[in-house]
Structure formats: structure tokens, C-alpha cells
Amino acid sequence: MEVPLIELDARGLEPPQPMMKILETVATLPTGVTLVAHTDRQPLLLYPLLEQRGFTYETNTQPDGSHVTHIRHR
């Protein structure tokens, strides 16, 4: 069975907009759904906030230098 995904493209936004959009989205993220967030920079400041909220994450750098972070409930 495939895990449902929600895609969020936060590229091209000035900080802290990408982090704010991601946090708004995870606030309503259903259990069992993975948020796939696309950002221009690695969202280092986001990680402790996700951990506090009970989420796990994995970020991968893309060939164009952007980042893709997979976020799911712990």
C-alpha cells in the first residue's frame, strides 16, 4: 500500500515564509500522510520545531541545489 503524500512547494519564498508554510501544513497533517516540502535552503531551523511537535523528517539535496524534506508523524 502506498503512503499518501501532500506536496508543498515553498521555493522562491523569503525566510521565514517556507518554515511558516511547512508548520501550518503539519499542524493539520493526518496521521499516515507524508508531507513532501520543497525548499531553496536546507530547513535547519525547522528540525527542532518538528521534533517538538512529534514529527520525523529526512532532507535530501537535489541536483539543482534545492532540498526536499519528507515529514511524517513519529
pLDDT tier, 3 (very low <50, low <70, confident <90, very high otherwise): confident
- Cα torsion 25, 59, 18, 16: sign: positive
pLDDT above 80 (res 1): no
Phi, psi for 10 (deg, rounded to 5): -110, 20
- In the chain the domains, ranked by start, together with CATH numbers, are 5-73 (3.30.110.40)
Whole-number Å distance between alpha carbons of 50 and 63 = 25
Is 0.85 surpassed by the pTM of this model?
yes
Structure confidence at residue 50 (pLDDT) = 98
- What cell does 74 get? 513519529
Complete edge-to-edge strand list for the sheet that includes strand 34-39: 5-9, 34-39, 67-73, 55-61
pLDDT, tens only, 6-55? 999 999 999 999 999 999 999 999 999 999 999 999 999 999 999 999 99
